[in-house]
């Protein structure tokens, strides 16, 4: 009796451990996969690791495929040939249900192998323009001129035309819209804006700025200026806008002063 009482607590604790081990094992594998995926997503936004960025979709697969294999062995360790057919059928059902997701993953692998796009490329995908700042398992991230990030699935890269902006020169367009000052003829205001944009220290010497007149609220008597300058480096986008506004303020003020009757 005493021996049985001495053994019972040990057997009970062993039974609890045996019941908890599968839960801890499966949870640990899933947590490990999520942790590695989180680290890979962070690396996709770090410029220092730009050489690794094209391979991040492959690294995601290299992490999750072995984990899925281990999980299915733990959840269904032994199976006959009939069971394998059943598993294969269920796997096919899940694959069909997740077809858009799988298609994006496969396209990410294809783009990674081709090394078609790199971090820092300026791209136009359909009507979205931006700099490539992130490469994920199913999508890329483009950062627009206003600093807004847009997520573009790989399926969209396949369906829509993708344009490398100024691939040879790496000049980046920058638009600024403002009202034509009262008291200055529109043509004169456009000339002054064009000169100010060309003289900016951040303007590219390879391309001349462009200025367009546009109606404000559909009225041809109330006009706006749309100044399109070209930067030698997109990183100076905000600096160019600030410098251009400062120059336009100076030239418009001087022009209005010159037109004021003495």
Asked if residues 129 and 123 have their Cβ atoms less than 8 Å apart, the reply is: yes
Instruction: Enumerate domains of the chain plus CATH numbers.
Output: 19-165 (no CATH), 172-259 (3.30.70.100)
pLDDT digits (tens, 9 = 90+) for 80-121: 555 666 666 666 655 554 556 666 777 777 777 777 777 778
Choice between 14 and 179, residue whose per-residue pLDDT is larger: 179
Does the pLDDT of residue 191 top 70, yes or no?
yes
Residue labelled with tokens 């492959």: 58
For 19: left if phi > 0, alpha if psi spans -120 to 50, otherwise beta; the answer is alpha
Asked if residues 116 and 132 have their Cβ atoms less than 8 Å apart, the reply is: no
Does the pLDDT of residue 73 top 70, yes or no?
no
User: DSSP string spanning 112-149?
Assistant: HHHT---TT-EEEETTEEEEEEEE-SSEEEEE-TTS-E
The whole-model pTM stands at 0.41
Choice between 93 and 58, residue whose per-residue pLDDT is larger: 58
Going by C-beta distance under 8 Å and a sequence separation of 6 or more, which residues neighbour residue 212? 225, 226, 228
- Structure tokens belonging to residue 157: 């890269």
Q: Which residues pair with 179 in a beta bridge?
A: 224
Asked if residues 260 and 211 have their Cβ atoms less than 8 Å apart, the reply is: no
Closest CA to 57 of 33, 40, 39: 40
Does the pLDDT of residue 177 top 60, yes or no?
yes
Does the pLDDT of residue 176 top 80, yes or no?
yes
pLDDT band (50, 70, 90) for residue 245: very high
Which pLDDT score is estimated for 192?
Answer: 93
Mean model confidence pLDDT for the chain: 76
Region 181-190: what's the mean pLDDT? 90
pLDDT band (50, 70, 90) for residue 249: very high
Whole-Å CA distances, 175 to 47, 186, 210, 212, 232: 26, 18, 9, 10, 14
Which pLDDT score is estimated for 195?
Answer: 93
Q: Which residues pair with 134 in a beta bridge?
A: 141
pLDDT digits (tens, 9 = 90+) for 1-28: 444 444 455 555 566 565 666 667 667 7
Whole-Å CA distances, 49 to 32, 40, 126, 251: 22, 10, 28, 45
Query: Distance between CA atoms of 114 and 99, rounded to whole angstroms?
Result: 22
Query: Distance between CA atoms of 226 and 243, rounded to whole angstroms?
Result: 16
């Amino acid at each position: 009796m005493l021996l049985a009482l001495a053994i019972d607590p040990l057997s009970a604790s062993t039974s609890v451990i045996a019941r908890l081990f599968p839960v801890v094992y499966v949870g640990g594998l899933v947590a490990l996969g999520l942790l590695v995926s989180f680290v890979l997503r962070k690396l996709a936004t770090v410029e220092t690791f730009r050489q690794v960025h094209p391979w991040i979709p492959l690294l995601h697969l290299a992490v999750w495929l072995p984990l899925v294999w281990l999980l299915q062995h733990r959840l269904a360790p032994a199976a006959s040939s009939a069971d394998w057919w059943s598993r294969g059928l269920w796997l096919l059902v899940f694959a069909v249900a997740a077809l858009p997701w799988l298609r994006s993953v496969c396209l990410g692998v294809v783009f990674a192998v081709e090394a078609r796009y790199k971090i820092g490329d300026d791209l136009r995908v359909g009507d979205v323009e931006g700099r490539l700042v992130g490469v994920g398992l199913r999508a890329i991230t483009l950062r627009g001129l206003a600093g807004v990030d847009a997520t573009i699935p790989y399926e969209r890269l396949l369906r829509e035309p993708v344009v490398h902006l100024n691939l040879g020169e790496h000049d980046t367009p920058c638009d600024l819209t403002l009202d034509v000052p009262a008291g200055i003829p529109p043509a004169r205001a456009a000339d002054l804006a064009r000169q100010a944009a060309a003289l900016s220290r951040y303007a590219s010497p390879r391309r001349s700025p462009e200025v367009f007149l546009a109606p404000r609220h559909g009225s041809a008597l109330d006009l706006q200026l749309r100044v399109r300058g070209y930067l030698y480096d997109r990183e100076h986008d905000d600096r160019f806008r600030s410098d251009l506004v400062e120059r336009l303020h100076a030239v418009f003020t001087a022009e209005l002063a010159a037109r004021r009757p003495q």
